[in-house]
């Protein structure tokens, strides 16, 4: 029999406890919209010598068990669109260089939503190419009807499902069908994460209505009804994007709902005036049952055409705090002005 010194036994015991603790926790970081430079029209790509627009924020993205966001458009070096005239500056289509897959990979993204109103700008071939590139980089994706991503992390089975109002995506408009599907995912996974690209857009859309929302005449979903319904069906975290601005957060049935994390990294073609330039990195720590163990909302500011940097003034968190107090006064407080999540 080998006899270990007491100090070594203590160290072994501590490492064992730490390993067991990590096995029972999942630290997630989620962001909103990502568009890393537009090929259409010409003139909206970051000069290659300046490097990726994510380079100043990579460390924050990598500092998690799972990192996820919404890829606003496709990775596709060729393709045509009928949505906009070739040189139009007033019509928006998003097609990023395929080489940006390396930026997403280096940043540490594990899951990306392809469920949004720009994924179809250049048709099915560019969607297929994007899915292929993400698969090749080992980045899970969800977008087309019936698609979800899966990962096993810290001994937990995690599912990621993304929704939007467009016909080429898992639909946010058919709430009953979405709930049924989420319920099925919940039966076979420890943690279910739902990403939703919905709601109206712009500064006028910062406040959260409890009704169907429209943008340019198109229905964009009933965000409160959909997100709470997702939790009722088994989702452990719901995070939104799409309005391009902050929205409220709440704790519902013991689960975190972030109605919009705003724009995170959107180079060249996005309006960054006023509150539009602020976004957030939502961190949540969950146990195996999906219960909240802690977290924070890290504020980000986009500068220089859309390059994200940490915001030491915590302005996004303060905006979300104010919106939460105003729009969801009956929900228990979830976020402090400093961005810390408040445990129930």
Over residues 119-154, the pLDDT tens digits come to 999 999 999 999 999 999 999 999 999 999 999 999
Q: Is there a contact between 84 and 130 (Cβ–Cβ < 8 Å)?
A: no
Nearest of 174, 167, 190 to residue 66 by alpha carbon: 190
Q: Look at residue 75 and tell me whether its pLDDT is greater than 80.
A: yes
Over residues 18-47, the pLDDT tens digits come to 445 556 899 999 999 999 999 999 899 999
CB neighbours of 138 closer than 8 A, spacing ≥ 6?
Answer: 105
**Whole-number percent of the chain with pLDDT over 70:** 93
Q: Which residues pair with 294 in a beta bridge?
A: 285
Residue 34 neighbours by CB distance under 10 Å? 28
Which domains are seen in the chain, by residue range? 28-327 (3.60.21.10)
Nearest of 261, 262, 257, 260 to residue 238 by alpha carbon: 257
Q: What is the CA radius of gyration of the chain?
A: 20
Give the CB-side neighbour count of residue 284, counting CA atoms within 13 A.
28
196/5 Cα distance (integer angstroms): 54
82 alpha-carbon distance from chain centroid:
28
Nearest of 289, 282, 112, 287 to residue 186 by alpha carbon: 289
Give the CB-side neighbour count of residue 232, counting CA atoms within 13 A.
11
Q: What are residue 9's phi and psi, to 5 degrees?
A: -60, -40
Residue 122 corresponds to which tokens in the numbers above?
């250049």
pTM attached to this predicted model: 0.92
Q: Using DSSP bridges, classify how beta strands 149-153 and 191-197 pair: parallel, antiparallel or unpaired.
A: unpaired
Over residues 158-195, the pLDDT tens digits come to 999 999 998 789 999 999 999 999 999 999 999 999 99
């Amino acid at each position: 029999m080998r006899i270990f010194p007491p100090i070594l036994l203590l160290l072994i015991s501590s490492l064992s406890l730490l390993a067991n603790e990590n096995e029972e926790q999942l630290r997630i970081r989620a962001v909103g919209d990502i568009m890393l430079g537009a090929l259409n029209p010409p003139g909206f790509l970051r000069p290659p010598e300046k490097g990726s627009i994510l380079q100043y924020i990579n460390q924050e993205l990598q500092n998690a068990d799972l990192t996820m966001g919404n890829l606003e458009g496709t990775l596709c070096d060729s393709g045509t669109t009928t949505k906009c005239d070739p040189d139009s500056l007033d019509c928006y289509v998003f097609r990023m260089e395929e080489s940006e897959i390396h930026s997403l990979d280096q940043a540490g993204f594990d899951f990306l939503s392809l469920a949004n109103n720009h994924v179809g700008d250049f048709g099915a071939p560019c969607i297929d190419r994007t899915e292929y590139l993400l698969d090749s980089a080992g980045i899970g994706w969800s977008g087309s009807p019936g698609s979800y991503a899966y990962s096993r992390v810290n001994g937990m089975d995690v599912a990621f499902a993304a929704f939007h109002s467009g016909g080429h995506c898992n639909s946010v408009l058919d709430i009953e069908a979405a709930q049924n599907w989420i319920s099925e995912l919940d039966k076979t996974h420890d943690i279910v994460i739902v990403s939703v690209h919905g709601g109206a857009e712009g500064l006028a859309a910062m406040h959260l209505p409890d009704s169907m929302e429209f943008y340019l005449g198109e229905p964009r979903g009933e965000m409160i009804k959909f997100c709470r319904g997702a939790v009722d069906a088994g989702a452990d975290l719901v995070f939104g994007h799409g309005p391009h601005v902050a929205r409220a957060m709440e704790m519902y049935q013991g689960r975190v709902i972030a109605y919009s994390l705003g724009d995170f990294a959107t180079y060249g073609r996005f309006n960054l005036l006023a509150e539009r330039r602020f976004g957030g990195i939502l961190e949540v720590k969950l146990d195996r049952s999906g219960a909240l163990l802690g977290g924070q909302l890290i504020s980000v500011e986009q500068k220089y055409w859309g390059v994200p940097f940490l915001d030491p003034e915590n302005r996004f968190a303060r905006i979300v705090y104010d919106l939460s107090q105003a729009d969801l006064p009956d929900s228990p407080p979830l976020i402090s002005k400093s961005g810390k999540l408040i445990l129930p």
